[in-house]
Amino acid sequence: MSIRWSLVIPVKTLVAAKTRLADATGPHRTKFAVAVASDTVAAALSCPVVARVIVVTADPAAAGPLGALGADVVPDPDRGLNTALRAGAAHAGRLAPGDGVGALQADLPALRPAELAVALEAAAEFDQSFLPDALDVGTTFYGVRPGTPFTPRFGGESRAKHLAGGAKELCVPGVDSVRRDVDTPDDLRAAIALGLGRHTAAVVAELWPARETGA
């Protein structure tokens, strides 16, 4: 079964973003966070089964660049990640009630549109489903088919939470870029090995010009 998707991408206030990369990025942490979110949004918008990307944020430093890429930016109610996702999903439902709705983490700098399409095609087979992160602890994608209640359970050990909530775990090969979120220097090294999007690659080259592939 093939359906079209509205993807909701939450972007937290950038002063609070990527704190575990603070030592590596120094004063460029905000710039790095914007670059990572930009690559995530750009790849999602290039995915053939994605009809629209809705960014939920309260930060104008993120809203401007991501809106310029083509995302539909809506305000964050500032009551936690899952509330932000539900706000974005409600907006998606008003725009296109016949499309699937998915939540996608904003920190996927190596995201490939073709791999995202594989994950979304798999998700279209289930009322609600999710894709675990590379560590099999968190979640990078949660989605529902049209007409199914949207009940994201991100935060902490969200893989277990989504399983407990009845969501189907997607076990699809060849979607490493969709599972590789970046929170730590080790995560960033793994994303570099997969191949960064152009926005993040430019910041990495600026921060670590002598060792672009070993940041």
State the pLDDT at residue 124.
Answer: 98
CA distance 153 to 68: 29
State the pLDDT at residue 70.
Answer: 98
State the pLDDT at residue 202.
Answer: 94
Q: Is 94 helix (H, G, I), strand (E, B) or coil?
A: helix
Q: What is the pLDDT of residues 81-101, one digit of tens each?
A: 999 999 999 999 999 999 999
State the pLDDT at residue 213.
Answer: 42
State the pLDDT at residue 130.
Answer: 98
One-letter amino acid at 122 equals A
One-letter amino acid at 8 equals V
**Has 30 been labeled as part of a binding site?**
no
Helix axes 29-45, 113-123, angle to 10 degrees: 60
One-letter amino acid at 95 equals L
Task: Give mean pLDDT in consecutive 10-residue pieces for the chain, a chain of 215 residues.
Answer: 93 65 66 94 98 96 96 95 97 97 97 98 98 97 97 96 98 97 91 96 82 43
State the pLDDT at residue 206.
Answer: 86
In terms of residues, how long is the chain? Answer: 215
State the pLDDT at residue 26.
Answer: 62
CA-closest candidate to residue 69, choices 174, 212, 199, 167: 199
State the pLDDT at residue 175.
Answer: 98
CA-closest candidate to residue 103, choices 79, 131, 126: 131
State the pLDDT at residue 19.
Answer: 61
State the pLDDT at residue 183.
Answer: 86
CA-closest candidate to residue 12, choices 66, 49, 52: 66
State the pLDDT at residue 24.
Answer: 63
**Has 166 been labeled as part of a binding site?**
no
State the CATH class of domain 5-207: alpha beta
State the pLDDT at residue 185.
Answer: 86
Q: What is the pLDDT of residues 8-50, one digit of tens each?
A: 999 986 555 556 565 666 666 788 899 999 999 999 999 999 9
**Has 158 been labeled as part of a binding site?**
yes
Q: Is 18 helix (H, G, I), strand (E, B) or coil?
A: coil
Residue 3 burial (C-beta neighbours within 10 Å; 0-12, 13-18, 19+): middle
pTM to 2 decimals? 0.92
State the pLDDT at residue 17.
Answer: 54
